[in-house]
Chains A and B, each alone.
Chain A
Amino acid sequence: MSARDVLNQIKGKFDGTILRMDVPEDNRLFLYIRKDKIRDLVRYVFRDLDARYVISIGMDDRPHSGTFLVAHNFAFDKDHVLLSLLVNLPAEYPKIDTISDIVPGANWAEREMRDLVGIEAVGCPNMKRLVLPDGWPENCHPLRKDVPWNFVPPEYDENKEYPFDEAPKGCVAVPFGPFHPTLDEPEHFRLFVEGEIVRGCEYRGFMVHRGIEKLADSVLTYNEIPMLAERICGICGCVHSVVYAQAVEQAAAIKATERAEFIRTIMLEIERLHSHLLWCGLASHILGFDTLFMQSFRIREPLMWIAEKITGNRKTYSLCLIGGVRWDITPDLSRDLRGVLDGIEKEWIRVADAVKGDKNVQKRTRGVGVADKKLVKEAALLGPIARASGVAIDARHDHPYAAYDKVEFDVVVEDGCDVWSRLMVRVREVFQSIRIIRQCLEKMPEGPIQLKLTDELPAGRFGMSSIEAPRGESHHYVVTGENNRPRRWRVRAPTYQNLQGVPAMIKDQQLADMTISLGSIDPCFSCTDRMEVVDIRTGKMKIYSQEELRKLVRNSEAGRP
């Protein structure tokens, strides 16, 4: 089924509802929908056509069309089609019917839309604040075009506290985070615990939101954004820069050079390898199994060195530009890379055998953090979580990009729905990644690594792209714009969806299983928050007030060239 077939199917059922359509490629479909029919259409697409919910995007399009825009994105994984349902909302009444009751996984997206763009989802069951800080005033929405990127509302109230839900009767609220040994970044889970059993939880994250999307549509240019996108995440940064570039390329109908696509594939797989090895290490550490933790990191290290050799950096590759890449893989590097892969493969076979037979690890992970097929569908869970629950989705296979259609690999699926299956999926995916890189090195054609782009990119075009990041599908949505920068760029990292499944995964489990259940989604809060930790180096001891801290940060920013 191509995009046209999906279109015809929808058209047959909702003829008068579609106001405008755009089929830029066989696998992309943009439909403008009548505002009052959005719920019916979403129900049809999500329930009857069994599409996977991807993300919802809110956008202030008043300077151009005089309206607000909302896009609900869905994926037809088996048919390789991405669908975007768009609705125009009048500038004076930015409200749309909620879809959270039909698609539970859309709750965060609707809350974020209200926080950042000021588009209200009418009837949404949970509309608590998600992204904005506690003290931010109600009527100020930073992603609106009339709010400057460096605006600080004068009504900001630093003493305001987040209204947490009351603990249910008989339960104690155990704070998990913002700082905890197993959280690498500040996030807060408020666990409602009865004895040792977790009965529920409330999540408050987004603590250090960096406003990257705002910077992109007001300060940076197309080719600067990949460098910033890469810094969204400390582990899967390359994913974000590539998926952004792909979204822009799709919007502007550009195709990166063939060699560049192979290089992108190789670097993405190197990233998956080091990320999976990192996860195996961290998960073992959470379980108290430090030997596997140390061994994983030792095995991982040569990957970081080869990445540094190729790109100049262990982790932040600065790889991608619109239409190509910045680093080539020379024959020397190619030989080195093969050597590294051989070494890792040999060692990982031994680790995989040891882990598979380890009763002790199985005892801690089997039947723990269960996410069944229903939860995967409802919360739109992704990547290894979905694949460990028998749902074979993998953007590399379902929505081929870069050079993935030119290599062979298996989509690894397990059906235990628990942490053990997620561990097995990741352990086995390591071998697939090695296989992909080897094929790429063999098949990579000669040629330029970067397109020569002389014309300005056309404005007002829509682009969306999905990439299988180590943690699941990363989805970016781009609307091209004027001044050599996009009008809107929306990042949806896999953890954004996977985190929404965690409360259901830890409910009625032991407190001890909380950390590994959360760990099993390989949470990447920085992707979700798109935030950064500011490191303030001071020699002397001093306790800063919030106001002083803020001044400190401002001053250092002002001092920069």
Chain B
Amino acid sequence: MNHTLTTILLAVVNLALVLALSPLIEGIMRKITARVQSRQGPPIRQPYYDLLKLLGKEDIESGETPLMQRFAAYLSLATILSVALLVPMGGRVPLQSGGDSILLIYLLTLCGISSLVAALAAGSTYSLVGMSREMMAMMTLEPLLAVAIVVGAIHTGSLRLDDVLGGSLYGAGAFPWAGLIMLGVLVFSLQAFVGRVPFDTAEAETEIMEGPMIEYSGPKLALFKYARMAKLFVYCALFVALFAPWGNALVYPLSLVIFLAKVFGVVLLVTLIAATHARYRIDQVVRYYAGLFALSLVALVFAVNGL
């Protein structure tokens, strides 16, 4: 009974954290970007206003198949919130009895699929170009995270989330080769997972006018934007859980503070990379991921050999 109660409590806390803080993180990101660019920048709470404004607008049906478009918007936010329940945020994984690492990988893929559905529903030429780019990126990108989780699973011999997302990547044995290689790989691909410059090819405003988002407006756009902000938060949390999980065992509020500080550090990294790079072309992106994937296979070999 007690266990169920903490699970519910943790789940609520995780959801609340993601929903409440992801616009704040976006706001901080914008402010830092502005400072790098010698600008004043918008107030940090601006993303909240943006979301509220969009949510208050008229809900217009548009695109080729409006129903599918609506579904895609719900799906995107719903999936990322489900992922939030599978990632530890200053405590243990809330739904660890509800699913394992495989479910996590599936749900993360579903996030990408929601924008494919959105693009398909819009049916505009630009959104379809965006869709084909998103698809190419997904096929080469998703294996990277899967390998990272599999490496953890090999080290612990279990697919349980609590085991995998607890620094298991570094193994227990000698020098953690596999873990460090995967750390490198994910540092260089995190930008792509959260869809920021230089890997925002699928949305590329100045080329294909936001691609899948082209037909969205009002509340549906708000959901997508919210999902995008949440995605940044959740992926950073996942990154922290995989590579820097220390501190979760501390007393709860303290562990939360440490967790948030770590997430903030990762966000800072993402922001600075985004502010100092130009967007890559999709063929360059795919080649880049392919290189990382080769590297991650090396890590897998190390992991199998207990390193």
Using CB atoms and an 8 Å cutoff, list the residues of chain A in contact with chain B: 172, 174-175, 180-182, 193, 195-196, 284-291, 293-295, 298, 358, 360-361, 363-364, 510-515
Interface centre among B33, B37, B200, B282 (most CB of A within 10 A): B37
CB pair A295–B281 under 8 Å, yes or no, is no
Complex: chain B residue closest to A284, CB-CB: B278
B305 beta carbon closer than 8 Å to chain A = no
Q: At the interface, is chain A mostly helix, strand, loop or mixed? A: helix
CB pair A294–B38 under 8 Å, yes or no, is yes
Query: In the complex, how many angstroms separate the beta carbon of B204 from the nearest chain A beta carbon?
Result: 7
Partner of B37, one of A181, A294, A512, A514: A294
Docked Cα-Cα span, A294 to B207, in Å, equals 19
Contacts known (A174-B129, A290-B275); A510 close to B282, Cβ less than 8 A: yes
- Residues of A contacting B129 in the complex (Cβ-Cβ under 8 angstroms): 174, 193, 196, 511
Query: In the complex, how many angstroms separate the beta carbon of A294 from the nearest chain B beta carbon?
Result: 4
Docked Cα-Cα span, A290 to B277, in Å, equals 8
B198 beta carbon closer than 8 Å to chain A = yes
| Residue interface bits B210-221, CB-to-A below 8 A is 1, else 0 | 000000000000
CB pair B283–A510 under 8 Å, yes or no, is yes
Complex: chain B residue closest to A289, CB-CB: B278
CB pair A287–B37 under 8 Å, yes or no, is no
User: 5 closest Cβ contacts across the A-B interface?
Assistant: A288-B279, A294-B37, A289-B278, A287-B278, A512-B281
Query: In the complex, how many angstroms separate the beta carbon of A283 from the nearest chain B beta carbon?
Result: 10
Contacts known (A175-B125, A363-B280); A288 close to B206, Cβ less than 8 A: yes
Query: In the complex, how many angstroms separate the beta carbon of A541 from the nearest chain B beta carbon?
Result: 12
- Residues of A contacting B208 in the complex (Cβ-Cβ under 8 angstroms): 511
Partner of B280, one of A291, A293, A364: A364
B84 beta carbon closer than 8 Å to chain A = no
Interface centre among A285, A364, A513, A515 (most CB of B within 10 A): A364
B97 beta carbon closer than 8 Å to chain A = no
Partner of B278, one of A298, A361, A515: A361
Docked Cα-Cα span, A289 to B200, in Å, equals 12
- Residues of A contacting B132 in the complex (Cβ-Cβ under 8 angstroms): 195-196
Docked Cα-Cα span, A195 to B129, in Å, equals 8
A287-B279, A290-B33, A294-B38 are known; give 4 further A-B pairs, CB within 8 A.
Answer: A181-B209, A289-B277, A291-B37, A511-B129
B284 beta carbon closer than 8 Å to chain A = yes
CB pair A513–B281 under 8 Å, yes or no, is yes
Partner of A515, one of B37, B206, B275, B277: B206
Docked Cα-Cα span, A294 to B30, in Å, equals 14
CB pair A172–B125 under 8 Å, yes or no, is yes
CB pair A294–B39 under 8 Å, yes or no, is yes
Contacts known (A196-B282, A512-B201, A513-B281); A291 close to B206, Cβ less than 8 A: no
- Residues of B contacting A291 in the complex (Cβ-Cβ under 8 angstroms): 33, 36-37, 275-276
CB pair A295–B125 under 8 Å, yes or no, is no
B197 beta carbon closer than 8 Å to chain A = yes
CB pair A512–B125 under 8 Å, yes or no, is no
Using CB atoms and an 8 Å cutoff, list the residues of chain B in contact with chain A: 33, 36-39, 125-126, 129, 132-133, 197-198, 200-201, 204-209, 275-284
Complex: chain A residue closest to B125, CB-CB: A174
Q: How many A-B residue pairs have CB under 8 A?
A: 82
- Residues of A contacting B276 in the complex (Cβ-Cβ under 8 angstroms): 291
- Residues of B contacting A361 in the complex (Cβ-Cβ under 8 angstroms): 278
Partner of B38, one of A182, A193, A298, A360: A298
- Residues of A contacting B36 in the complex (Cβ-Cβ under 8 angstroms): 291
- Residues of A contacting B197 in the complex (Cβ-Cβ under 8 angstroms): 288-290
Partner of B281, one of A172, A180, A510: A510
Partner of B284, one of A193, A195, A285, A363: A363
CB pair B39–A182 under 8 Å, yes or no, is no
CB pair B278–A360 under 8 Å, yes or no, is yes
- Residues of B contacting A512 in the complex (Cβ-Cβ under 8 angstroms): 201, 204, 207, 281-282
- Residues of B contacting A196 in the complex (Cβ-Cβ under 8 angstroms): 129, 132-133, 282-283
Query: In the complex, how many angstroms separate the beta carbon of A522 from the nearest chain B beta carbon?
Result: 15
Docked Cα-Cα span, A293 to B279, in Å, equals 13
CB pair A288–B198 under 8 Å, yes or no, is yes
Docked Cα-Cα span, A141 to B205, in Å, equals 40
Q: List 11 A-B contacts (CB under 8 A).
A: A174-B125, A182-B206, A193-B129, A196-B133, A289-B278, A291-B37, A294-B39, A360-B278, A361-B278, A510-B281, A510-B282
- Residues of A contacting B133 in the complex (Cβ-Cβ under 8 angstroms): 196
Complex: chain B residue closest to A286, CB-CB: B206
Docked Cα-Cα span, A504 to B206, in Å, equals 21
Docked Cα-Cα span, A132 to B204, in Å, equals 34
CB pair B37–A290 under 8 Å, yes or no, is yes
Docked Cα-Cα span, A360 to B37, in Å, equals 18
CB pair B281–A364 under 8 Å, yes or no, is yes
- Residues of B contacting A287 in the complex (Cβ-Cβ under 8 angstroms): 206, 278-279
Docked Cα-Cα span, A180 to B209, in Å, equals 7
Docked Cα-Cα span, A290 to B276, in Å, equals 8
Docked Cα-Cα span, A364 to B204, in Å, equals 14
Docked Cα-Cα span, A514 to B204, in Å, equals 13
Docked Cα-Cα span, A513 to B207, in Å, equals 8
CB pair A515–B38 under 8 Å, yes or no, is no
CB pair A288–B200 under 8 Å, yes or no, is yes
Docked Cα-Cα span, A363 to B201, in Å, equals 15
Complex: chain B residue closest to A361, CB-CB: B278
Query: In the complex, how many angstroms separate the beta carbon of A173 from the nearest chain B beta carbon?
Result: 8
- Residues of A contacting B281 in the complex (Cβ-Cβ under 8 angstroms): 364, 510, 512-513
Query: In the complex, how many angstroms separate the beta carbon of A411 from the nearest chain B beta carbon?
Result: 28
Docked Cα-Cα span, A515 to B277, in Å, equals 17
Query: In the complex, how many angstroms separate the beta carbon of B69 from the nearest chain A beta carbon?
Result: 21
Docked Cα-Cα span, A293 to B39, in Å, equals 11
- Residues of B contacting A514 in the complex (Cβ-Cβ under 8 angstroms): 207
Docked Cα-Cα span, A356 to B69, in Å, equals 44
Docked Cα-Cα span, A556 to B74, in Å, equals 47
Query: In the complex, how many angstroms separate the beta carbon of B198 from the nearest chain A beta carbon?
Result: 7
Docked Cα-Cα span, A513 to B281, in Å, equals 8
Interface centre among A193, A284, A291, A514 (most CB of B within 10 A): A291
Partner of B207, one of A284, A289, A295, A511: A511
Docked Cα-Cα span, A269 to B74, in Å, equals 55
Query: In the complex, how many angstroms separate the beta carbon of A177 from the nearest chain B beta carbon?
Result: 11
CB pair B125–A289 under 8 Å, yes or no, is no
Query: In the complex, how many angstroms separate the beta carbon of A184 from the nearest chain B beta carbon?
Result: 12
- Residues of B contacting A513 in the complex (Cβ-Cβ under 8 angstroms): 281
Partner of A364, one of B33, B39, B279: B279
Docked Cα-Cα span, A514 to B125, in Å, equals 15
Docked Cα-Cα span, A279 to B175, in Å, equals 51
- Residues of B contacting A293 in the complex (Cβ-Cβ under 8 angstroms): 37
Query: In the complex, how many angstroms separate the beta carbon of B40 from the nearest chain A beta carbon?
Result: 11
Docked Cα-Cα span, A419 to B25, in Å, equals 36
Docked Cα-Cα span, A293 to B38, in Å, equals 11
Query: In the complex, how many angstroms separate the beta carbon of B128 from the nearest chain A beta carbon?
Result: 9
Complex: chain A residue closest to B284, CB-CB: A363
CB pair B279–A289 under 8 Å, yes or no, is yes
Docked Cα-Cα span, A175 to B284, in Å, equals 24
Docked Cα-Cα span, A57 to B132, in Å, equals 46
Complex: chain A residue closest to B37, CB-CB: A294
Docked Cα-Cα span, A361 to B36, in Å, equals 18
Docked Cα-Cα span, A290 to B278, in Å, equals 8
Docked Cα-Cα span, A287 to B281, in Å, equals 9
Complex: chain B residue closest to A172, CB-CB: B125
- Residues of B contacting A288 in the complex (Cβ-Cβ under 8 angstroms): 197-198, 200, 204, 206, 277-279
Docked Cα-Cα span, A522 to B282, in Å, equals 24
- Residues of B contacting A289 in the complex (Cβ-Cβ under 8 angstroms): 197, 277-279
Docked Cα-Cα span, A298 to B209, in Å, equals 26
Interface centre among A290, A514, A515 (most CB of B within 10 A): A290
CB pair A360–B198 under 8 Å, yes or no, is yes
Query: In the complex, how many angstroms separate the beta carbon of A196 from the nearest chain B beta carbon?
Result: 6
